[in-house]
Structures are given as C-alpha cells and as structure tokens.
Structure 1
C-alpha cells in the first residue's frame, strides 16, 4: 500500500525509524528489534540507507522483512549523493521487486573518509532531482525530509522553504520532519509552509533523548534547539543515566501528547533501534 493512501484517512499515523546494523554485525540483531516494534502495530516503518549508498543491500533486506514477513508497510530511505544514476535505478528496481512501494528520497551525506569528488555528470545532486526522477520513471509513493528549524546548510528559513517547495513540486507525497524538541517550532513551521501552499501531510519526527552523548550528536547533526525545560533535564540528570533516560522518555511523551491533541498528520519516532524504550513511549502516550 502507498502511504499517501493512509494519510487520506485523517487519523494521526504512527511510524518508526530503524537503521540496519554495520556490515560486521548480523542482521538478526535488527530483525529481533524489528519484530518487537511491529507488535506495536505501526502504520509504517522506515529503514535508513548507508552514506553514499553503502550497505544498501541491508536496507533492501530489512525492508523486505518488514513488509513481506511482518506485514507492515516499509519506507525505504534512498540517498543520491555520490551514487551513480544507474545504481539508483538498480536500487529502485530491487525495491519494487520486493513489493516495496514507498521511498524516502534524500540527498544524503558523503561517506566519511572517502573521495567525494566523483564528478556530477551521472549523479543527482539534490533531493529534488532524485524525486523528479523517481516520479517520472517509477511507481512509488515518495516522502521527503523537512527541517522545522531550517537545513543546517541553508543561510535562512526563507531559503530553506524555497528548497522544500522545490522538493514538493518535484513530486513529494508527504514530509517527515527532522527532530525538534519544542513543539512551538513545529507549529510555526506548519504555518510557514501553508503560506507557500505546501499542503501535503507532514509527519512530526520525535527523538527521545536517552543519554548525554545524544545531545552533542544532535547539535552537530541538525542544530536542533534545546529548550529550557529539556536543558534543565540534561543538567539535572547528566550524572544519573537511568534517571536521564526516564526523564527523556517522559519529555518525548509530553511532546507526542501535545502533537496528537493538535491533530498532526503523523508521529515518526526515531527509535535508534531501542525496542523497550520505544514500547514505553507508545504505551504511555496511548498511541496503540
């Protein structure tokens, strides 16, 4: 099923993001986590894609397991940076052969410690180009990433909104936001996209802070604002890991409860492959 058909029903969708393990780790580890998450009856599960197309076979295998073994719709991530156009089409054809109907199309990041100067003639340089290609040549429902606080590489919010509009006009069916920790930021973002006539569904990306290491990574990854209430939690429990995790879960739950009350289109939980913590969040928010 194409996920765009689910959004039409008008309820708040619930979805998870997982990532396949490193090549040195067996896929059985993620399958155990995946099986546990699917018992929570999500509307779909997204599977990340290796930088520059690395480990793409693991994305396919995991998506296949979710869709064809557990019967849950799979949203396969696909990035285009540093990937040859022919490799992109090969990946798309393989996904289609496994009955995967939904793609999250992104530019992606360059692989670490690899030559990033492969040339641009046979690659898609931006997500909008990848989206346009998929829409014109394949039959997928296409999701794209949105940044409520603006993409880190964009000089200002208006420029970011311009590029988001380009992605939508290229054929995006719905959006999934980057993580945010202040719901007011999302509500402001939703108002801004309406002003430029972006009317497709938006699923709100929620990442629970479970340990102090995440804080630095998140700031480096997307520059998400840490509001005062969350900063207080970080400072209060930075030397107490169990209390930090509990407080982080409670904070994520409070975000979700407010978002659902305000009738957002979807809640997309960045699980970090944490099964028990994800279960707790879903149960405490009565999402399932």
Structure 2
C-alpha cells in the first residue's frame, strides 16, 4: 500500500528501524520486528547505508520481509549522496522486484570534509529521477527547525515545495523537541501551498549520548523543559530513560490533539520504548482517526 493513501483513512502511526551493521547477526532485526509489529503500525521505514553502502541489500530484504512475512506496509530509505544514476537505477530495480512501493528519498549526510562525486546534488534530484523512471510512492524529509544548509527559513520552504512539485506525496520531519517549531513550520507549508500529509518525526531521547549526537548532527534546539529534565535526571540512566519516554508521550499527545496527520516514531530498534509510547497514545490515535473519518 502507498503510504500517502493511508492518511486519507486515519491518523497515521508509523515506525522507523535500522538494519544490523554488516557482519552482525541478522536475526536480531527479526526479533525486533516480532516485538514491533504487534503494535500494528501503519507502516515501517527501514534506513539505508549511505552512498550505496553494504547495508543497502539488507534494507531491501528487510523492507520486503516486513510486507511479505509480517503483512505491514514498508518504506525503504534511499540516500542518493555519492550515487550515479546507474547505481540508483540498480537499487530501485531491486526494490521494485522485491515488491517495495514506498521510497523515502534522501540526500544523505555528508561526512566531515567529504565531497562525494555522484549524479545527485539534492534529494529533489533523486525524486525527479524516480518520478521520471518509476512508479514508486515517494516520501521526502522536511525540517521544522530549518535544514542546517539552508540560507533561510523561506529558502528551506521553497526547496521543500520543489520536492513536492517534483513528486513527493508525503513528508516526514526531522526530529524536534519543541512542538512550537512544528506548528510554525506547518503554517508556513500551508501558506506555500504544500498540501501533502506531514508526519511529525519523534525520537524518544533516553540517554546523554543521543542528546549529544542530536545537537551535533541535527542542530536540534533543547527547550527549557527538556534541559530541566536533563539537569534533574541526567545522572540516573533509568530515571532519564523514563523521563525521555514521558517527554515523547507529552509531545505526541499535544501533536495529536492539535490534529497532526501522523506520528513517525524513531524507535532506535528499542521495542520496549515503542510499546510504552504506543500504549500511552493509542486511544488518542483512535479517537482522532474517528474524528478524521
């Protein structure tokens, strides 16, 4: 099923997982899926090794198995950084043969000091390539706190509108910790005429290492409430984990109450966290779905 069609029926709740690293036991990811699919997510996205990395074949296999073995719609990530058009076509052909319908088209992260050579400078270039040559449903990323390489918020919205015009039918946000960023961003998308569903990407932050990585890679702002949580529970890993889950639940509750199209939960392959969050918001999703129908 194409993810864009699911939003016509309900408030969407979806999950992201990542494949095991090359050389790791692949059975682990299926234990993770055993623990996640009983949530009955609307779809599960699977991340990909950037630049045609070795994780790519696992991404395709896992995304296919999510559909064939678990009966859940899947979406395969495809970062285009460093890829030639022929490499992208080979990957997309493989995805098509595996029955995958949904592609999350990304540029991917540049390594420090790295200038990879390929045929795609931006995610929009990949989106155009897919639309012109294939019949996939295309998902794209968006940034409530503005993409770190954008000249301005207005410039960021302009490029997002271009992604949609080129064929993206559904957007998923980068993680954020302050819902006000999402609400301001969403208003700007409406003004810009972006009329596709936008899912709020939520990552439960449950340890200090995650926080440091988010700040360094994503430029995520830490709101006062979140910093207070860190100050209070940062030296107690168990308490910080519980507080991080509670913080994510509060974020999701607020977003669903405000009428968000969907929630995309970055699970970090942690089934316990995913279950605790879903159990807390399940009734809200069901009520919101009834109101949307």
Per the normalisation by structure 2, the TM-score is 0.93
The whole-number CA distance in structure 2 between the counterparts of 1:40 and 1:73 is 13
- Mapped contact 1:249–1:281 kept (Cα < 8 A): yes
Please list, as runs of the form range in 1=range in 2, the aligned pairs for 1:76-115 lying within 5 A after superposition. Answer: 76-110=76-110
Deviation at 1:63, TM superposition (A): 0.4
Note the alpha carbon deviations across 1:183-223, whole angstroms, 9 max, x for none.
Answer: 11101110001111001100000001110111110011211
Q: Does 1:130 find its partner at 2:126?
A: yes
2:199 pairs, out of 181, 199, 203, with 203
CA distance in 2, matches of 1:257, 1:33: 25
Is residue 45 from structure 1 mapped to residue 44 from structure 2 by the alignment? yes
In the aligned structure 2, how far is the partner of 1:136 from the partner of 1:36? 38
CA contact (8 A) 2:81 2:116 kept: no
Do residues 240 (structure 1) and 239 (structure 2) align? no
Q: Alpha-carbon deviation of 1:53?
A: 1.6
Q: Which residue number corresponds to residue 263 of structure 1?
A: 259
| CA deviation vs aligned residue, 1:219-239 (integer Å, no higher than 9, x gap) | 112111111111100111111
Report the alpha carbon displacement of residue 28 of structure 1 after superposing the two structures with TM: 0.8
User: How much has 1:117 moved relative to structure 2?
Assistant: 4.4
- In the TM superposition, what are the counterparts of 1:140-151 in structure 2 within 5 Å? 140-151=136-147
1:161 and 2:160 aligned = no
Matched residue, 2:225: 229
3-state DSSP class of the match of 1:256? helix
Give 5+ residue unaligned stretches, structure 2. 287-293
In the alignment, is the contact (CA less than 8 A) between 1:81 and 1:107 conserved in 2?
Answer: yes
Q: Extract unaligned runs of 5+ from structure 1.
A: none
The TM-score normalised by the length of structure 1 is: 0.95
Provide Cα deviations, 1:135-191, integer angstroms capped at 9, x if missing partner. Answer: 111011100000001001112211111111111111110100000111111011100
Q: Give the whole-Å Cα distance in 2 for the aligned partners of 1:38 and 1:112.
A: 36
- SS where residue 71 of structure 2 aligns? coil
Match of 1:56, SS state, is: helix
The answer to whether the aligner puts 1:15 opposite 2:11 as a matched pair is: no
Other-structure match for 2:181? 185
Alignment-derived partner of residue 291 in structure 2:
none
**What is the CA distance between 1:112 and its match in structure 2?**
7.2
Separation of aligned partners in 1, 2:32 and 2:253: 25
Alpha-carbon contact 1:51-1:110 (below 8 Å) kept: no
The partner residue of 1:277 within 266, 273, 281 is 273
RMSD of aligned C-alpha atoms? 1.4
Of 23-32 and 246-255, the range deviating more from structure 2: 23-32
What is the CA distance between 1:240 and its match in structure 2?
0.2
Figure out how many residues of one structure are paired with residues of the other and give that number. Answer: 283
Cα-to-partner distance string for 1:69-120 (whole Å, 9 max, x where unaligned): 001000100011101211111111111111110000011124679x7443x4
